[in-house]
Chain A
């Protein structure tokens, strides 16, 4: 119940401010347009690099969105309104991760067709594993970035600290995401890319559980 209240607060913040989705969307679309007009590569090369490019774009979009989500907690020290209540603080982590998951998924729905069209990528794949793996990767992106954002929130140089800690820690996830998407698009047998699925699930479990368990201590001054 508390979780729903917190998610509701996150969604309400975005409906009123429209900052996270708009920032994510503007950045994503700009990247697609820039790449499509500046690269003069063959279709095969574009298709080979498309998944990596997509997840790299998602990484930067995540940084923007998650950073904004914590920035308004710091304005007016608004987070005190929640921290002074007797709720389980792990739920703040879960609520922020789930709302971020909703925002990034929405953004991907809006961006995916321009991505395929502008980069002239053929869509002839099995969508079910692609969608399922993308949703899991989105959730993992949010678990990792929310944990790091929570850790860096109290720091004086949080704007610098957040990406500096996040990028090395999230690299294995981006590598796994790229390989999974690439393998699905190329219809490679599952046995060849199952290791990346295991890595993805491990990241989900480790960062999801540690974020939930540690957020009480992380948010303590």
Chain B
């Protein structure tokens, strides 16, 4: 489904990624590990067409260098920063994101999803008052409502309590069943050791298994 072919990226003359390759098929979850500053977030942002790159090709469904809008529609990036407007409520943030993605999701379904992620008491409160864990839950609720093919999740487990991790695992299970694929960046060693998924390492500017 997604094929990253020899992607390279330099910042101010410093090579961050050097001919990085990766293939992600349907219903796959891959975990990407690497030291701080190794270029994991940069790599995810390049795939999500949020960041430019110097060399290489991105194939989506065997189409070389798809339109950015096609990639942004099918590849969903969930960053390690909140990515929501502080002054808007969870409902308003999600409605804005969904409407710009032209996803016609009824308000009732959004409210039900927010309840599922235990945010029902905060539906109309501004997101600015949320804790880190609540923001992570809100991100999952948003990702849960969207229609995407490949999800790029950058440190989604940060700030989550046990209940939150459980909810996250449920999401992963549902996404994989729905033939969606996930590339997950995490430093959470417990999560990595307890999972059976492919683990990749970003080391010396390249990805290895």
Please report A residues at the B interface, Cβ cutoff 8 Å: 2, 5-6, 9, 12-13, 16-17, 72, 75-78, 80-88, 216-217, 220-221
Contacts and interface: CB of A to CB of B under 8 A. Distances in A.
B50 to A, nearest CB: 6
Contact of A81 (B68, B72, B93): B93
A75 B126 CA distance: 13
Nearest to B46: A221
Contacts of A84: 48, 50, 72, 76-77, 83, 97
A138 B182 CA distance: 46
Nearest to A78: B85
5 contacts: A6-B100, A16-B87, A80-B77, A84-B48, A84-B72
A13 B85 contact: yes
Given A12-B88, A86-B70, A78 B101 contact: no
Given A72-B87, A81-B93, A221 B51 contact: yes
Nearest to A84: B77
Nearest to A220: B52
Contacts of B96: 5, 9, 81-82
Interface string B72-91: 11001101011111111000
B100 A78 contact: no
Interface in B112-168: 126-128
Interface string B25-60: 000000000000000000001001111100000000
Contacts of A216: 68
The 4 closest A-B pairs by CB, nearest first: A80-B83, A77-B81, A85-B100, A86-B69
Interface of B: 45, 48-52, 68-70, 72-73, 76-77, 79, 81-88, 92-93, 96-97, 99-101, 126-128
Given A2-B100, A84-B77, 15 more contacts: A9-B96, A16-B87, A16-B88, A16-B126, A76-B83, A77-B79, A77-B81, A80-B81, A80-B83, A81-B93, A83-B50, A84-B76, A86-B72, A88-B69, A217-B52
Nearest to B69: A86
A220 B49 CA distance: 8
B39 to A, nearest CB: 13
Nearest to B92: A12
Contact of A13 (B77, B79, B87): B87
Given A76-B82, A220-B50, A81 B97 contact: yes
Contacts of A76: 81-86, 127-128
Contacts of B85: 9, 13, 72, 76, 78, 81
Contact of A78 (B48, B72, B86, B99): B86
Contacts of B70: 86
A80 B127 CA distance: 15
Nearest to B70: A86
